[in-house]
């Protein structure tokens, strides 16, 4: 581990992935991933397709169980939790999906209100107020009555974020938030992630292969290749990395700019 | 077989290979069934979603079930009157039609309609939700997808199937009566009288019970196929096809098993599965 990473891990990290292994049908996807993320920071896990970054994120969410290793989130080992315990624990996390994963049979308002209706005991009026407020946090106004299909890709992402943060989670995970978006929308999604960190003080984990966006929003960057973290640190540190894969990966972007 | 050193299970003998896929399917389906049935009893109980599904499955299928029933009854009357006229037993036509309807045709044809209309819709809807990560989203929001998506659908199907079967029965009998009495000049009294004396309540309940079981199972298969869909639009298409084909096979398989069990029971003691 680099000295910078060690310093970050000195205070108890919000997310602590320890020596994680995972195979599917005998094919190893994660081969000993260790990664710490401090509270209130934004970490971008950068890697190509098939590098194992999505599998890593699903472990942090508790959707997969590790073959070996541990995932400690907010001081609790989620890799050994039972389904009920895990279900309760997930209320501390929000996830923004690549496709936004909004329920297309519901309006935007109902989508954002969904976690509250499922878990809280707020009145409908309180829910409506909270939905309005949360949509305002992601700079959306008067869209409650619309259906997801009527929104642009960037707006859908923001509704997805609103749904993820409505119960005030401590951690927000973003799965490839800028994939397939045009440059302007990418910019606005980046701003959304930066705002969410500022306004809500959440710990953010961003899974991405978008190098430009990563250097824009990250406090720390971890580069993952073939199931291993090959480089990890502050953006400036990663930018100057001598590690061969990282250099090659970053060159695809920085060589052109 | 030797190249994957860390494969979790030891390699099975070569001759077992063709059997692997069906066994894996049955194994996964059983596990899915088990956890879905457990999820029925776990709160929250989603009554609103159940009624929404009932509206779609029962109310929405009434027209097509009624139409199928009408023509089935009519054609059955034509065939039966023709066959029985060969040995001058037309008076038995009504009872024969209603016996075959109540015991066999109404539940089976209704369930075929259910597979075509409900099974395909369920598999497509859940499959699309799966590939667009909506099911993952439910999980990350601490909502059990089985409880939220699967339970209302399988329960609604188990309730809707007997209702639709009864509707099928009634309309088919009406169609049969129409053909036998108005087109084939059978006496209405004979037609109805023989039904009353020969068809018993347990014939009806046996058919209804059958439809409960089949409706439940075919919708469960559709849920399973949709739930496990992968790989975009093509994957959803495959899941839907598999749901419909699997559902159709299941109908006839369960029909035989159910009938064999209920008939063997009814000889020893009235009742059994069919009541």
What's the pLDDT at A9?
47
Q: How far is CA B97 from CA A224, B92, B103, B182, B205, in A?
A: 70, 9, 10, 16, 16
What one-character DSSP code corresponds to residue A15? Answer: E
Comparing C-alpha atoms, which of A108, A110, A215 is closest to residue A158? A108
Q: What is the mean pLDDT of residues A143-168?
A: 91
Structural domain containing residue B143: 46-259
The pair of three-digit structure tokens given for residue B11, joined into one six-digit string: 């390699």
B121-149 per-position pLDDT tens digit: 999 999 999 999 899 899 888 899 999 99
Please indicate, yes or no, if residue B117 is contained in any of the structural domains: yes
Question: What share of chain A has pLDDT > 90, as a percent?
Answer: 44
Please indicate, yes or no, if residue B17 is contained in any of the structural domains: no
Contacts with A28 from chain B: Cβ below 8 Å: 6
Res. A250: pLDDT tops 80: yes
The pair of three-digit structure tokens given for residue A138, joined into one six-digit string: 């992601």
Contacts with B20 from chain A: Cβ below 8 Å: none
Fold of the domain built from segment(s) A3-254:
Rossmann fold (3.40.50)
* C-alpha span between B166 and B156 (Å, rounded): 16
A26 touches chain B (CB under 8 A): yes
Contacts with B143 from chain A: Cβ below 8 Å: 118
* C-alpha span between B16 and A143 (Å, rounded): 57
A88 touches chain B (CB under 8 A): yes
Helices B151-177, B106-114: axis angle to 10 degrees equals: 130
Q: Best residue in A57, A95, A162 to probe B by mutation, most B CBs within 10 Å?
A: A95
List, as ranges, residues 134-173 from A with C-beta within 8 Å of B: 163
Domains in chain A: boundaries: 3-254
pTM, to two decimals: 0.84
Residue A182, judged by CB atoms within 10 A of its CB (0-12, 13-18, 19+), counts as exposed
Comparing C-alpha atoms, which of A180, A200, A183, A204 is closest to residue A98? A180
Res. A256: pLDDT tops 90: no
Res. B77: pLDDT tops 60: yes
What's the pLDDT at B214?
96
Count of domains forming chain B: 1
Average pLDDT, chain B: 89
Residue B137 and residue A90: Cβ atoms within 8 Å? no
Nearest Cβ partner of A101 from B4, B6, B134?
Answer: B134
Min distance B122 CA to chain A CA atoms (Å):
14
Please indicate, yes or no, if residue B206 is contained in any of the structural domains: yes
φ and ψ at residue A209, rounded to 5 degrees = -120, 10
Res. A5: pLDDT tops 80: no
What's the pLDDT at B156?
97
A77-113 per-position pLDDT tens digit: 988 888 788 888 888 889 998 888 999 999 999 999 9
The strand order across the sheet containing A76-77 reads A27-37, A15-24, A68-73, A76-77
B55 touches chain A (CB under 8 A): no
Residue B139 and residue A63: Cβ atoms within 8 Å? yes
* C-alpha span between B206 and B272 (Å, rounded): 9
Q: Which of B83-87, B192-196, B222-226 has the highest mean pLDDT?
A: B222-226
What's the pLDDT at B116?
95
Average pLDDT, chain A: 87
A82 touches chain B (CB under 8 A): no
Nearest Cβ partner of A26 from B6, B140, B142?
Answer: B6
φ and ψ at residue B89, rounded to 5 degrees = -120, 35
What's the pLDDT at B272?
37
Comparing C-alpha atoms, which of A245, A232, A239 is closest to residue A43? A232
Q: How far is CA B259 from CA B200, B201, B213, in A?
A: 16, 16, 12
Comparing C-alpha atoms, which of A56, A54, A51 is closest to residue A17? A56
What's the pLDDT at B1?
39
* C-alpha span between A207 and A43 (Å, rounded): 9
Min distance B24 CA to chain A CA atoms (Å):
14
A199-212 per-position pLDDT tens digit: 888 999 999 988 98
A98 touches chain B (CB under 8 A): yes
B3 touches chain A (CB under 8 A): no
Q: Which of A49-58, A78-87, B222-231 has the highest mean pLDDT?
A: B222-231
What's the pLDDT at A188?
85
Helices (H) and strands (E) in chain B, counts: 12, 0
Res. B223: pLDDT tops 90: yes
């Amino acid at each position: 581990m680099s000295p910078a990473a060690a310093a970050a891990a000195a205070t108890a990290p919000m997310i602590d992935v320890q020596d994680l292994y995972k195979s599917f049908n005998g094919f190893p996807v994660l081969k000993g991933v260790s990664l710490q993320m401090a509270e209130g920071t934004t970490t971008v896990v950068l890697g190509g397709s098939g590098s194992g970054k999505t599998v890593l994120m699903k472990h942090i969410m508790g959707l997969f169980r590790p073959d070996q290793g541990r995932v400690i989130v907010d001081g609790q080992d989620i890799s050994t939790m039972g389904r009920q315990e895990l279900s309760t624990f997930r209320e501390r996390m929000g996830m923004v999906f690549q496709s936004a994963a909004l329920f297309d049979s519901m309006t935007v308002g109902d989508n954002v209100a969904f976690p509250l209706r499922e878990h809280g005991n707020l009145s409908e009026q309180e829910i409506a107020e909270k939905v309005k407020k949360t949509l305002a946090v992601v700079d959306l106004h008067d869209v409650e009555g619309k259906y997801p299909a009527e929104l642009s890709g960037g707006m859908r992402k923001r509704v997805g974020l609103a749904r993820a943060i409505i119960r005030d989670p401590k951690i927000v995970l973003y799965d490839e938030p800028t994939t397939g978006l045009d440059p302007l929308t990418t910019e606005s999604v980046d701003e959304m992630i930066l705002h969410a960190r500022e306004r809500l003080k959440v710990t953010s984990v961003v899974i991405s292969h978008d190098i430009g966006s990563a250097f824009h929003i990250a406090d720390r960057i971890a580069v993952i290749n073939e199931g291993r973290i090959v480089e990890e640190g502050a953006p400036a540190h990663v930018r100057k990395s001598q590690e061969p894969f990282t250099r090659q990966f970053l060159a695809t972007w920085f060589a052109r700019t | 077989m030797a190249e994957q050193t860390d494969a979790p299970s030891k390699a099975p003998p070569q001759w077992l290979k063709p059997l692997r896929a069906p066994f894996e399917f049955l194994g996964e389906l059983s596990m899915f069934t088990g956890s879905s049935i457990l999820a029925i009893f776990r709160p929250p109980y989603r009554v609103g979603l159940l009624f929404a599904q009932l509206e779609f499955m029962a109310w929405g299928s009434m027209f097509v079930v009624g139409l199928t029933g009408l023509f089935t009854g009519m054609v059955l009357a034509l065939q039966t009157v023709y066959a029985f006229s060969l040995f001058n037993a037309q008076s038995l036509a009504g009872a024969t039609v209603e016996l075959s309807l109540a015991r066999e045709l109404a539940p089976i044809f209704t369930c075929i309609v259910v597979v075509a209309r409900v099974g395909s819709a369920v598999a497509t809807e859940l499959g699309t939700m799966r590939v667009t990560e909506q099911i993952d989203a439910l999980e990350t929001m601490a909502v059990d997808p089985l409880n939220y998506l699967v339970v209302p659908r399988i329960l609604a199907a188990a309730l809707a199937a007997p209702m639709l079967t009864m509707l099928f029965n009634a309309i088919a009998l009406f169609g049969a009566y129409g053909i036998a009495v108005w087109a084939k000049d059978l006496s209405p009294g004979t037609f109805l009288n023989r039904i009353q004396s020969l068809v018993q309540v347990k014939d009806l309940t046996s058919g209804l019970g059958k439809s409960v079981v089949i409706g439940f199972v075919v919708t469960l298969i559709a849920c399973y196929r949709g739930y496990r869909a992968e790989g975009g639009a093509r994957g959803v298409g495959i899941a839907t096809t598999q749901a419909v084909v699997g559902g159709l096979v299941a109908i006839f398989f369960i029909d035989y098993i159910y009938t064999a069990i209920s008939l063997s029971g009814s000889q020893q003691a009235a009742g059994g599965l069919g009541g």
